[in-house]
Structure 1
Amino acid sequence: METLQSWGLLLLLLALAGLGVYVYRQLDRSSLRQEAEAMISQAEALRQRLSNEPRVATGFAAELADGAQSLKEAKARLEARDLGAARDRGRHSRDVLQSIVDALALRGGASQAQFVSLQGDVELRRGSGGDWEEARSRVQLQSGDTVRTAENGSAVVMFQDGTLYTVQPNTQLVVSPRSGGGGSGPEQSIEMQYGWVNLSTSQSTGSNVKTPGAVARVKESSEAYVAVDKGSSQGRFGAYRGGMELSSSGGMTRQVGALQQVVQTGDLLSEPKAMPGKPEPVEPVDDLLLDLDATKKLVLAWQPVSGAARYSLQVSRNHLFVDNVIDAGNRTKTRATLGLRGEGSFQWRVAAFGTDGLQGPWSEPRKFRVASAARGGGGEKQDAAPPELDLGDIKTYGSISMVNGRTEPGARVEVNGEQVALGADGSFTKAVQLSKEGWNIIEVRARNAWGNETVRRHRVFVESP
């Protein structure tokens, strides 16, 4: 009798547990459906808002088409009860359409820059008293706006004069009014509060970076960095190419040349110190495609740098090198062996450290792809069709042209012979600097894993400054 009672109690507990799991799953699906419906509703409201906006056709036609297509897919997924996919496509549609609304609201105003590329958590605050909001690609920035990146966040910002800033993780800066200048009028300025930025100036103008302890004027046609410690406000100022003029709050000045760094501590500026040169990758060849079923290891190698004591190696799934798969900063050899454990597209780069611990510039990134030829059981057949390649409207700012578009995920894209990083959905954005006045040709090539190519050419006109 007791045995029967025990079995009965066990069966009751199992039934209650099963009921609990069923109820939880139903509640979870109900919550997921509500999320999906909310995303779709918000996206639909934005689409209707933009449907009668004439400026969309002249500047955001590709983005509007992307948002509308994603909204259509979200509705179809919701109808098919694929709630997770419906929510994700709805969110993508909402974000794309909202970025158009934001950009249109600022177009024609006193905007000085715009987000070109974003990775991870990046926030934006309008003015000094606004609320923090999520940053979106193509949104424009005005004087007084603050940009902040989290530990996993990074952003590329392009200013009207063509200067490109790469905002590294854990950084906060303020867009400042144009000031100073090297003879060609006021130049773009930012105020670094803490963190690290890399910048590349245009051929015609420099850029000014103010920190708590110094002001740097980065010269024309230069690649440089500025780093500020959040706690001590100590600054580091270096030039990879070109140079900068540096002055401390106490009145000291320094000229920083190519491959030199100066450290600011309080009112003092150190003497310029030489940094090691840029390593040159040797193997594997760029854009190598590997079969995961046949290859389990990959060797990365680079040329030694004169005076280098060690090297830093990074392998990442994104072109901004955030949340890296490998981040090894103490390698003494000029080669590394990677174990291949999964599919995906990866980029890698390496930098040299001198005996004094000073880091030089990163190498040009190289890409490799890992895929399983036997995926799906029977293997993949070779694809003979060229990849799709859709280009958005090309914007020109002086000698800088912004090229954006979308192709087949996993394809290789080159703009005027220079490789471009792709998003997971095949989207890309590339800033191209054109040195010739008058008509120029921008050539975009997309090539898939089987070597099939699609080419698009676009003419742009560069006016004399």
Structure 2
Amino acid sequence: MITNLLIILIALHSGSRPAEAEPVFFKPPELSRVAQELVGSESNWPLVFQAAEYQSRENTFSLGIASQEALARFLANWQQMQESRNRYSGLIRNGAGVFAATEVARTDSLHQAFRNMVEKGDIDASVQLISDYSRSIDDMALALEVNRTVDVEARLSEKQGTVEYRRGLIGQWIAASVGNLFREADGVRTSTESTGTVTFVDGSDVELARNTTAIIRSSRLDRLTNTSDVEINISQGGLLTRLSADGIERSNYQISAGSATMTVKSSNFWAEKTDEDRVVMANYSGTTTVTAENEVIDLGRNQGTIVVRGRVPTQPVHLLSAPRMRWAATDSVIVRDRITLAWTPIQGAARYEVDISDSPSFDGWVRSFPSETTESTISDIPTGISHIRIRAFDDNDLRGIESPTYRLLRSTGTLPPYLFLTSGDPAEIYTSDPEYTLTGITEPGSTLKVNGKTIDLTPRGDFSVTLPLDQGSNTLELLVANASGSTTRQERSITRISEKKLFDLRWSSFAEEGRVRFAEDILITGRAYPPLEVVARVGDVEQVVPCGINGNWALSINPERNSDLTIALRYRNSKKVIGERTFRIE
């Protein structure tokens, strides 16, 4: 039967319709195999499912002539999509993420749109998106060819303050801009008031601290093996190396400073040339091999060493532990432009350093405040969100482990008050419980209303409110007003999951009151909720299928007579079961 269908589809694709063309039929268990053969992949089964008509009495799907033509048109384009996906992978390996970033983002968006249309069973839209995706791949390839040459492998991706660069070893230092590309022997330097980040083709970052000069001694790409060889020399100052997963696995990164050479296989490694003859190193993840005076040592996670010119590296030592802020939570709100921070003392610490930044990854503007005690007063804090971290240093200037990142919210009272929710998904929340506890933080002293009801705030601006839920969708309106009269309004949707909806099932065999008439093949479909998955068990056989973006799902079973079928619905992430029923096949 399937062979006949393939012959018909091939004929339709070739432009001729066989005289004997007629509707064809297949059973529910054949759906995945039919999808593999007719639309190229089992994952494309919704296209066949949507195009076919289901005849419940015969427990059979049928495909009419028009549906056959539509599937043939998709199949003719599916090979183009597969070839485009292979091209995409190759372009990413060759550096498209750096040199064609805009085109990569657009291509990713088109692929997601294609998968959404397939899941909806929309053949025409899927075919059009295959064509759009192929053209987007061509744009990626062109951008990569134009923007990347053999001797260009890194770019300035972030900077704060004035960062300078020079071409070659004897070039003039000139101001750098974000996006500047660097070749072998180029230099990059920061001042006492600036920082910069250099990104390499494999996605690895090298962050230059203040008052640092670094030279890219070597930067080569082996096109055959697609591996990078990078060597960076620290003339002065310090840098943080954050290798990507590809950088750790496929590339060779070497940092040289003073008499030390470091081979880095770490996503978080710090090296600093504290003076002409002394280098301190701290490794926070992965491994780093340090060589000096023909002596080799390996640094593991949270280990450090020191190299002094003319001496072998010191044996690895454990880095100081992370300080902890004396706050009750990781968030705090202030209205003034200064705050005194206090943190837990670390045994063996000689001094501390506090960083404050507008970025949670500290790759934007960063200010650092040294302290010899466990307190520091930070001033000139800008309005908005700032991020804070603390680290300790021992007597040898080895950097310790960084604290968790703390968030500081500063409001002047003339701007709309802040409102952050700390519970649930930011877009839509699903729960099977009859009530939901909403938590968050806002500007202290403000007035918060949820659906018109005033909610109490703590002195810090925290709040927690338990809300009863109706079945189905519940819309929450949050309105917060500060003392100046400025307001912030947010809406959240909370869907209370209905068990009745979960088990509103459609069967290909007669079913009533927990009993299902036996058939060799039984198709079950339902509509639940996007974050759920369906688990069906018959004897020792278990199937798990995810719900689609609209909550739809379908599965086929081959039961034995007088057996039990258990259907459970659970959250995909937590695996928490929210509904389960057993049916008797007889």
Q: Which amino acid aligns with 1:161?
A: D
Cα distance in 2 for partners of 1:257, 1:57 equals 37
Q: Which amino acid aligns with 1:369?
A: L
Cα distance in 1 for partners of 2:104, 2:364 equals 30
**Counterpart check, 1:190 vs 2:235:** no
The partner residue of 2:412 within 360, 365, 372 is: 372
Cα distance in 2 for partners of 1:353, 1:453 equals 45
Summarize deviations over 1:58-108 as a string: whole Å, max 9, x none.
4899xxxxxxxxxxxxxxxxxxxxxxxxxxxxxxxxxxxxxxxxx998534
Cα distance in 2 for partners of 1:153, 1:339 equals 18
**Counterpart check, 1:212 vs 2:258:** yes
Secondary structure of 1:269's aligned partner: coil
Q: 1:177: Cα distance to partner?
A: 2.2
Residue ranges of structure 2 left out of the alignment (5+ in a row): 1-99, 107-143, 420-479, 481-486, 493-586
CA contact (8 A) 1:290 1:368 kept: yes
Secondary structure of 1:131's aligned partner: coil
Q: 1:381: Cα distance to partner?
A: 8.2
Cα distance in 2 for partners of 1:350, 1:281 equals 8
**Counterpart check, 1:114 vs 2:155:** yes
Q: Which amino acid aligns with 1:328?
A: P
Task: Specify the structure having the higher radius of gyration (Cα).
Answer: 2
Cα distance in 2 for partners of 1:169, 1:56 equals 28
The partner residue of 1:278 within 288, 308, 322 is: 322
**Counterpart check, 1:172 vs 2:213:** yes
The partner residue of 2:303 within 255, 260, 277 is: 260
Q: Percent identity?
A: 20
Q: Which amino acid aligns with 2:197?
A: V
Query: Following superposition of structure 1 onto structure 2, how do residues 267-416 of structure 1 map, counting pairs within 5 Å?
Result: 267-272=310-315, 273-281=317-325, 283=327, 285-286=329-330, 288-292=332-336, 298=339, 300-302=341-343, 305=346, 307-308=348-349, 310-316=351-357, 319-320=362-363, 324=367, 327-331=369-373, 333=374, 343-354=383-394, 358-374=398-414
Q: 1:252: Cα distance to partner?
A: 2.2
Cα distance in 1 for partners of 2:221, 2:149 equals 24
CA contact (8 A) 2:151 2:220 kept: no
Query: Following superposition of structure 1 onto structure 2, how do residues 89-168 of structure 1 map, counting pairs within 5 Å?
Result: 107-168=148-209
CA contact (8 A) 2:291 2:313 kept: no
Cα distance in 1 for partners of 2:491, 2:290 equals 47
Match of 2:84 in 1: none
Cα distance in 2 for partners of 1:321, 1:106 equals 25
Q: 1:270 to 1:107 in 2, by over 3 A?
A: closer
CA contact (8 A) 1:252 1:268 kept: no
Q: Which amino acid aligns with 2:314?
A: E
Q: Which amino acid aligns with 1:370?
A: R
Cα distance in 1 for partners of 2:381, 2:159 equals 27
Secondary structure of 2:372's aligned partner: strand
Q: Which amino acid aligns with 1:227?
A: E
CA contact (8 A) 1:199 1:224 kept: yes
Match of 2:242 in 1: 200
Secondary structure of 2:413's aligned partner: coil
Q: 1:343: Cα distance to partner?
A: 3.6
Summarize deviations over 1:371-430 as a string: whole Å, max 9, x none.
22246xxxx5899xxxxxxxxxxxxxxxxxxxxxxxxxxxxxxxxxxxxxxxxxxxxxxx
CA contact (8 A) 1:260 1:274 kept: yes
Structure 2 length normalisation: TM-score? Answer: 0.41
**Counterpart check, 1:251 vs 2:291:** no
Match of 1:39 in 2: none
Q: 1:213 to 1:356 in 2, by over 3 A?
A: closer
Q: 1:327 to 1:299 in 2, by over 3 A?
A: closer
Secondary structure of 1:283's aligned partner: coil
Secondary structure of 1:209's aligned partner: strand
**Counterpart check, 1:225 vs 2:270:** yes
Cα distance in 2 for partners of 1:300, 1:451 equals 31
CA contact (8 A) 1:161 1:188 kept: no
CA contact (8 A) 1:346 1:369 kept: yes
State how many pairs are aligned.
Answer: 282
Secondary structure of 1:241's aligned partner: coil
Q: 1:147: Cα distance to partner?
A: 0.4
CA contact (8 A) 2:260 2:290 kept: yes
Q: 1:257: Cα distance to partner?
A: 2.4
Pick 1 or 2: higher relative contact order, CA cutoff 8 A, min separation 6: 1
Secondary structure of 1:115's aligned partner: strand
Relative to structure 2, which stretch is displaced further, 253-262 or 156-165?
A: 253-262
CA contact (8 A) 2:238 2:271 kept: yes
Q: 1:56 to 1:367 in 2, by over 3 A?
A: closer
Secondary structure of 1:352's aligned partner: strand
Cα distance in 2 for partners of 1:328, 1:246 equals 28
Cα distance in 2 for partners of 1:107, 1:201 equals 20
Q: 1:133 to 1:284 in 2, by over 3 A?
A: farther
CA contact (8 A) 2:280 2:397 kept: no
Cα distance in 2 for partners of 1:163, 1:348 equals 24
**Counterpart check, 1:237 vs 2:237:** no
Cα distance in 2 for partners of 1:193, 1:341 equals 33
Q: Which amino acid aligns with 2:235?
A: Q
Cα distance in 1 for partners of 2:417, 2:389 equals 32
Q: 1:347 to 1:451 in 2, by over 3 A?
A: farther
CA contact (8 A) 1:106 1:140 kept: no
Q: 1:310 to 1:144 in 2, by over 3 A?
A: closer
Q: 1:180 to 1:287 in 2, by over 3 A?
A: same
Q: 1:243: Cα distance to partner?
A: 2.3
Structure 1 length normalisation: TM-score? Answer: 0.51
Relative to structure 2, which stretch is displaced further, 198-207 or 117-126?
A: 198-207
Q: 1:202: Cα distance to partner?
A: 2.4
Q: 1:338 to 1:136 in 2, by over 3 A?
A: closer
Q: 1:256: Cα distance to partner?
A: 2.1
Q: 1:212 to 1:336 in 2, by over 3 A?
A: closer
CA RMSD of aligned residues (A): 4.1
